Amino acid sequence: MVMTSGGELPRSPRLTSRQSLVYSAILGRRAHPSAQIIHRHLYDSGEKISLATIYRQLAKLVEIGLINPIELGDETRYCPGQSAHAHLHCCRCDQVTNVKTNEQTIADLIQSSHDLSIERCNDELCFDVQIIIVGVCDECCTSQQP
């Protein structure tokens, strides 16, 4: 993901109405949705958009760097493009949410445990990593569900 030196996202490229619709559906959720969840949400909101169109728009949004795919076995979820962070995949409710992490800590861990070198480009660390923690989210912990 490209960030400006101030840490904010660069200006978004011009999006089509379908891309904006799908992107808004991702931004409007706390958890990271799959294509099927996005489709259901938009359909329930009165939008007539096919699942195939959702997949095409997701691919374009990934290509331009506005979202990142999170691979969970046979399912892909989508996360708004941000700096390096981890995800928690709740084994009770199946939600995927962000876990705050420090980019430098992740880089140091990777370098020390795997003898790798991570370069800096324009004051940014140049690497991509996906960390997915499987566990129980705060909501499920407090809800007393078995």
**CATH code for the part of the protein at 83-136:** 3.30.1490
Which residues, listed in sequence order, are joined to residue 85 by a DSSP beta bridge?
none
Identify the pLDDT of residue 57. 96
What does the CA dihedral 64, 66, 71, 74 come to, rounded to 10 degrees?
A: -80
Distance of CA 111 to the CA centre of its chain: 24
Identify the pLDDT of residue 120. 59
Record the tokens describing residue 125, joined without a space. 């660390």
Q: How many CB atoms lie within 10 A of CB 32?
A: 23
Q: Where in the chain is the domain with CATH 3.30.1490?
A: 83-136
Q: Where in the chain is the domain with CATH 1.10.10.10?
A: 14-81
pLDDT by residue for the chain (146 residues), tens only, comes to 334 344 444 455 788 999 999 999 998 787 889 999 999 999 999 999 999 999 999 999 999 889 988 888 888 999 887 666 778 888 898 888 877 777 667 777 777 776 666 665 556 655 566 778 888 988 888 886 55
Architecture label for domain 14-81: Orthogonal Bundle (1.10)
